Amino acid sequence: MVSLSKDTLIFRSQILRKVREILWRDGFLEVDTPTLKPIVGMEPYLDPFEVRSPSGREKGYLITSPEYSLKQMMAKGMNRIFELAHTYRSGEIGSGFHSKEFLMLELYAKGMDDSSLRRFIETFLRELIFVFGKEDDQKKLSSSEWIRHLSVEEAFLQNVGHGFLREDLLKTIEVKKLSSSPISERIQWPYEDLFFLVFLNLVEPMLGEGIVFLYDYPPECAALAKVVDGVAKRFEIYWDGLELANAFYELSDAKEQRKRFYEEQGLRSKLGKEVFPMDEEFLGSLENGFPDCSGISIGMDRLILRLSGKHGLGEISPYWIEV
């Protein structure tokens, strides 16, 4: 374990206590879910740790997120729930902002869409910054420019000069020389690969200082979010360019979810990764009373890092291991 100072350990504890106080005050019930499961999420670009018993007869995976388990609880009639969960992702190394194990705050709220969840989380962050943030950041809370809500289309128009149509992305990749692959290959790429190549190189680095809520993604990047009026109702949060959170207006259509899982299985296969079976128990929960709700996952170690004003996870996280 990284050798953290006594003051840092106390700082972490105080923030976690405050998070619980805020959420309990706002009607959220704290729950706990398994971290070792037989089936994990389907995300093509996330890799779970596989766990086996010494005999080899038992096998499971450490969760990359508690999402499916919490959604199954929502389907049983819960209204507002949260978990501070230990999560694990293989390959999360480099730059001082990644860790194989990290603490995630995940919450779900019945009756909230993505817009109302954004407003709720902004208030949540403001309270944490007011209590624990650096003095400079506390002073910036009164500025209308320091916490911004920006659509993905607006971010593309500001930094690339166009929206996120496939043909525009292909043209930008060619003009900006973002890939050495021949055009004949690039035109066959999945839309998400084109989108994120442009986004990660030309948009994300330009989000600037302060906190940015980036919302309304292309429908091809919906993941587990609803698509409404041609955009995926999801948002991400950045603080001084560092991604902190990912949120969805949750998809409740089991048929559509099964279709997306099938597509993700195909992409994992193309990437040469293990293809996991569909979580039928989770899909069943969507068919049996899953409510209209939104959810968010927040990387607590990164949030604590930004509140502390320090420079890398090695300074604030007990899970960070130097490699």
Amino acid at 287: E
Give the tokens for residue 159: 């930094």
pLDDT at 252 over 80: yes
pLDDT at 43 over 80: no
pLDDT at 111 over 70: yes
pLDDT value of residue 89: 87
Give the span between the Cα atoms of 73 and 89, in whole angstroms: 23
Cβ(63)–Cβ(88) below 8 Å? yes
Q: What is the mean pLDDT of the chain?
A: 91
More confident residue, 257 or 210: 210
Domain borders along the chain are 6-146+209-315
pLDDT at 323 over 70: no
Confidence band for 281, pLDDT divided at 50, 70 and 90: confident
Could you read off the pLDDT of 156-184 as tens digits, one per residue? 999 999 999 999 999 999 999 998 888 88
pLDDT value of residue 29: 97
pLDDT at 276 over 90: no
Instruction: Identify the CATH number of the domain defined by range 6-146+209-315.
Output: 3.30.930.10
More confident residue, 29 or 257: 29
Amino acid at 302: R
pLDDT value of residue 2: 55
pLDDT at 190 over 90: no
Could you read off the pLDDT of 47-90 as tens digits, one per residue? 888 999 998 889 899 999 999 899 999 999 999 999 999 999 88
pLDDT at 19 over 90: yes
Size (the chain), residues: 323
Give the span between the Cα atoms of 44 and 36, in whole angstroms: 19
pLDDT at 207 over 60: yes
Give the span between the Cα atoms of 245 and 235, in whole angstroms: 8
Give residues with Cβ within 8 angstroms of 193, minimum separation 6. none
What pTM was computed for the model?
A: 0.92
Q: HSE (CB half, 13 Å, CA atoms) of 143?
A: 12
pLDDT at 92 over 70: no
Torsion angle defined by CA atoms of residues 307, 310, 315 and 318, in that order, rounded to the nearest 10 degrees: 10
pLDDT value of residue 266: 83
| 3-state secondary structure string across the chain | CCCCCHHHHHHHHHHHHHHHHHHHHCCCEECCCCCEECCCCCCCCCECCEEECCCCCCEEEECCCCHHHHHHHHHCCCCEEEEEEEEECECCCCCCCCCCEEEEEEEEEECCCHHHHHHHHHHHHHHHHHHHCCHHHHHHCCCCCCEEEEEHHHHHHHHCCCCCCHHHHHHHHHHCCCCCCCHHHHCCCCHHHHHHHHHHHHHHHHCCCCEEEEEEECHHHCCCECEECCEEEEEEEEECCEEEEEEEEECCCHHHHHHHHHHHHHHHHHCCCCCCCCCHHHHHHHHCCCCCEEEEEEEHHHHHHHHHCCCCHHHCCCCCCCC
pLDDT at 263 over 60: yes
